[in-house]
Structure 1
């Protein structure tokens, strides 16, 4: 099957978690908006296309199916791309971990947009500094410690019994946080050795290494979820 991925152009965003799974598996897919522009997304959001009505991208078209929400898309793709161990328990646990990643992503986004997504960062800088101080001290360690414990309880190298889409998403988390909060992540270094090692192994996987070196991988930037503002990431 040829999959069609719909996500905004110019940013990695939540679509990147799906894109990494498709790239790692060597799946045949079309990154629709990059070929046809963002209007292709709006046609679905406006109800002009057949199938389920997505609230927002990312969404995936697989045959006649239209599947929205990152964790839901990955739960669908996992068994079909060999990116989740077999069995109901493994599939449910993988989705649970992916939903926890989704919770974390929301909190990361809200460091720079704590008041409203419709406002520019410059309009909410004071609130962003307060929000991010609590994030760096409390939420960042809480989530990363949890995922470190997940790897420890697994086989020490992966979230589940073998390589899965969750590992790819953890790689994206670590990569994005390194970009957005390099000082805070350096202070976390000794607490997350397994996450660090996992991220390095994922980056070395042949299909992922090729993707990261290609123009298909959009660079992190200040329009996406992971944004670097020096005032939100002090060195001390």
Structure 2
């Protein structure tokens, strides 16, 4: 897959079995804490109730009152459990980011991470959007990319992310040309900052937990900059943090 021309790519082998097992255990822990009403994950999170009330058309037939502690998004994962940083030290992640951002590995910097969930049966849709327009962490030159790392595998069956190929080169791209890549657990879906993407609700019996990591290039001028744990750190800083 030509990332430069298509604006997305499925990259195999980003998390080995050990890292994938660790990531699943850490995610399970923060999700259970959120469900139990722990203050830290709730402060970093958006619940199924929140998103259903804000965007009812994205989660039809779901009663928002029932899901106040069921997380949809949990942000700043490293702040909640520093062991996430060890998972994100994976050399494959940083090499992938360098290749797709067309820079050297030591120019790659971490921007942020979150857990985005579509729990089985109640997972909401994600509206069509381009990450370049976000107001959390964005650069003036659009030299950012996101890696979506599914922990169970992602497909049309469980509300996977759909992408409009080459839409990063076409502001008027039509969502009728969207496709839904299959992304196995341990692989990643790489998204250009300007590619158009979204996703349908998950009404299947399958879970869909995805770790989202955004990388950028050292020296890019940032239009929006969040105060997230290890923001703007390179891999060497991650490795030192994990020692």
Q: Greater Rg, structure 1 or structure 2?
A: 1
TM-score range, shorter chain: under 0.3
| The structure with more strand, counted as a fraction of residues | 2
Q: Which has the higher contact order (CA 8 A, sep 6+)?
A: 2
